[in-house]
């Protein structure tokens, strides 16, 4: 007589259990994302080859809006970092050209 209610209660419990599992998966995925973002930030900052004092000044200028695009990057030793990115793009273009032929 109460079989339908028992089935519905069981379904509710399965859904609750699944929600808890999904919350745990979400938390783990968010932690992985945060770690990847942190690693990328450290890699980008490391590529600038700045002293801690230079980095602090650079960030202060950037947050104040006083950072300009003309020549400022070279003042902070980022020419090597920009050269690396340009080289990577050239390699990708060559690979793309090879695939077209």
Of 91, 83, 87, nearest in space to 49 by CA: 83
Q: What would the two tokens of residue 17 be?
A: 């259990």
- Would the pTM count as exceeding 0.85? no
Q: Which residues of 15-52 are buried (b: 16+ CB within 10 A; e: fewer)?
A: eeeeeeeeeeeeeeeeeeeeeeeeeeeeeeeeeeebee
Give pLDDT, residue 26: 98
Pick the more confident residue, 79 or 10: 10
- What does pLDDT average to over the chain? 79
Residue 58 burial (CB count, 10 A): 20
């Amino acid at each position: 007589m109460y079989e339908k209610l028992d089935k519905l209660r069981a379904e509710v419990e399965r859904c609750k259990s699944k929600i808890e599992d999904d919350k745990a998966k979400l938390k783990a995925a968010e932690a992985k994302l945060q770690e990847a973002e942190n690693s990328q930030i450290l890699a980008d900052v490391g590529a600038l080859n700045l002293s801690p004092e230079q980095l602090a000044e650079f960030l202060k200028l950037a947050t104040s809006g006083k950072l300009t695009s003309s020549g400022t990057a070279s003042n902070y030793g980022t020419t090597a970092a920009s050269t690396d990115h340009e080289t990577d793009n050239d390699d990708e273009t060559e690979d793309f050209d090879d695939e077209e032929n």
